[in-house]
Structure 1
Amino acid sequence: MHGLWTAYFAALGMVFGSFYNVIGLRVPNHESIIRPGSHCPKCGHSLSWNENIPVLSFLILRGRCRSCRAPISPIYPVFEALTGGLFACSFYRFGWSLEFLLAILFISLLVIITVSDLAYMLIPDKVLFPFAAAIAAVRLFHPASPWWSAWLGAVFGFCLLYLIAFFTKGAMGGGDIKLFFVIGLVLGIEKTFLAFFLACLFGALYGVGLMAAGKFKKRKPVPFGPFIAIGALTAYFFGNSLIGMYLRFSGLG
C-alpha cells in the first residue's frame, strides 16, 4: 500500500510541477496564473488536455508545438519529472506525517523559485512570503529537534547571506537572503550551514564546467537560486549522513 501511495504522489507531483512552471514563469511578470490557460508562447495555441499531460505530452510531441512546430523548452518536462520524483521520495521517507507536509511545501517553494530565477534571475516575494508563512506555521506544530534549532537556523541563514551581500556590495540578491531564512526554518542551524556550503560548491563546480567548455563569460551574472535549491535539498535529505561522514573523517565523531 505504501508503494501505491508513493506512485500516486509521484504522479501528483508531476501535475503540480507543471503548475509550478506556470507560477515561476508568470508571477515575476505580474501575469495571472489562471488565465489564459496553458498555451504556446510562440503562436498562442491553446493546449488541449492531451497536449498538457506532464512529461508524456512533451515526449509524444517530440518537444515541439503541435500548431507552429516551435520547440518547447525542456524546462517544462524536467521540472515536472523532478517535482514528481521529489514528492515520491518525500512520501516514501516520511509517510503520513507533518514532516511530509513540510517536505512538500519546501520542495514546492524551491522548484518555483528555481524556475523563476533561471528565467528572470528573480525570486519573487509573492511566492516566497506565502510559503514562508506556511512553513513557519508547520514548524510551530512540528518543532525541530531541538525546537530552537529551526528558528536559530532561520536567523543564521538570513544574517549570513545579508553580511555577504553587504561586504560584497550586492553579490547576493535580496531574494537569496530571504530564501535562506526559510531554509533555516526547515533545516535547522547545522544543515543550514551545510546547505550554504553545498550551494557554493555546486555553483563553483558549474563555473569550472563552463570554463572547461569555453563558455564562461566574465561579468555575465549567474542565478544562484538553483544552486541554493540543490544544496538545500541535498542537506534536507542527506544532511545527517553527510555531517556524520564529515565528523568520522575529521575524527570528531
Structure 2
Amino acid sequence: MTTFWMAYLTALSFASGLCVGSFLNVCILRIPAGQSIVRPRSRCPACGEWIAWYDNLPVLSYLLLQGKCRHCRGLISPRYPLIELLTGLLFLAVWNRYGFTAQTPLYWVAISGLIFGSVVDLDHFILPDRVTLGGIASGLVFSALVPSLQGELVWSGALVRSAVGALVGAGILYAVAVAGRWWLKQDAMGLGDVKLLGAIGAWLGVQAVLFTLVVSSAIGALFGVILIAIDGLKWKSRIPFGPFIAGASVVWMLGGDHAWNWYLTWIQGGQ
C-alpha cells in the first residue's frame, strides 16, 4: 500500500472516530432520559435554539465557536469535544495496531459501547443493560463469526472461549459482590459491573478478564486514595467502577495483552 493510501486510511479512521464520538454524545444525553436519538435535532441547553449542522462538526465547531453557543453565547460543555477526541484517538490506535483485520471494526464497536457505558455510569451510577448484556450476547456471536477474536481458527473453539470468559468474568465479580455484602453489610459491587466484566470476557477471553480485574482494581484503588487524601478521611462518595473496568479492557486491546503475556512468562521463568 502506498504512503498516500495509508495516510488517507489513517485520517479516515480518526475522522470516523470523531463522528462516532459525536453520536455517542447524543446517546449519552438522551438514552438515559428515555428520549429518541434520532429526533429532534440538537438544541442549545441554555437558549433552546436549534444547532445547525455546521455548528455540530466534531471538535472543529467547538473550536471555531470558542466553546460558546452561536446564538446566546452560553458556554458549551468541554465534555462534548473531549468525548469526540477520545473516540477518534482510540479508533486511530485500533487501526494502527490491527489494520486490515476483522478486529478493527469489531473493536471500534466494543470501544464505542464502553465509552457510552462509562460516561452513563459516571453520570447516573448505572451501566445500561444494552452495554452489559448486549456486550455478552454480541461477544458470543462475534466470537463464533470471527474466531480470531479469541485467537482460534474454528468457530466452535472461539465460542467456547467466549462463553468461558463471560462466565469467569461475571463469576469473579459476583463472588466479590456476595463477599462484600457479607463482610461490609452493604453492596460492595453493583450487578452492572458484574455483567460488564462478563461482557469483557465474552469479547476478549479469560486472560483479558484477569488483566482487566487486576489493572482496574489497582487504578480504582489509587484513584480512591487520591480522593481521600484530597478530601480527607471523611470522604464517603461512591466511585463508579465501570469506567475503570472499561479503561483496563481498552488497554488490553491496544497492547496490554503483550504486557500480560510477558509478565506471565517472567513469573514462570522465575519459578
TM-score of the superposed pair, with normalisation by structure 1: 0.91
1:234 aligned to 248, 251, 255, which one?
251
Report how far residue 107 of structure 1 moved: 0.6
Confirm or deny: 8 A CA contact 1:6 1:89 kept in the other structure. Answer: no
Distance 2:205 2:123 in 1: 29
Corresponding residue of 2:16: 12
Query: Does residue 1:186 correspond to 2:203, yes or no?
Result: yes
Distance 1:121 1:45 in 2: 30
2:239 aligned to 214, 219, 222, which one?
222
Distance 1:216 1:32 in 2: 42
Confirm or deny: 8 A CA contact 1:109 1:127 kept in the other structure. Answer: yes
SS in 2 for 1:24: helix
Corresponding residue of 1:164: 176
Residues 144-189 of structure 1: per-residue CA shift (max 9 Å, x gap): 1353333211110011111111221222212111111110012211
SS in 2 for 1:252: helix
- Residue 255 of structure 2 aligns with an amino acid whose one-letter code is F
- Residue 199 of structure 1 aligns with an amino acid whose one-letter code is S
Distance 1:6 1:27 in 2: 31
Report how far residue 101 of structure 1 moved: 2.4
Corresponding residue of 1:115: 119
TM-score of the superposed pair, with normalisation by structure 2: 0.85
Corresponding residue of 1:209: 226
SS in 1 for 2:31: helix
2:83 aligned to 67, 79, 84, which one?
79
Q: 1:56 to 1:192 in 2, by over 3 A?
A: same
1:43-192, aligned counterparts within 5 Å? 43-143=47-147, 144-146=150-152, 147=158, 148-169=160-181, 170-192=187-209
- Structure (1 or 2) with the larger CA radius of gyration: 2
Distance 1:234 1:81 in 2: 17
Report how far residue 127 of structure 1 moved: 4.0
Report how far residue 206 of structure 1 moved: 1.5
Confirm or deny: 8 A CA contact 2:166 2:199 kept in the other structure. Answer: yes
Distance 1:106 1:251 in 2: 32
For structure 2, the 5+ residue unaligned runs are 153-157, 182-186
Count, aligned residues: 253
Report how far residue 248 of structure 1 moved: 4.9
Distance 1:93 1:236 in 2: 9
Q: 1:246 to 1:226 in 2, by over 3 A?
A: same
Residues 1-31 of structure 1: per-residue CA shift (max 9 Å, x gap): 2331121011011001111121122111211
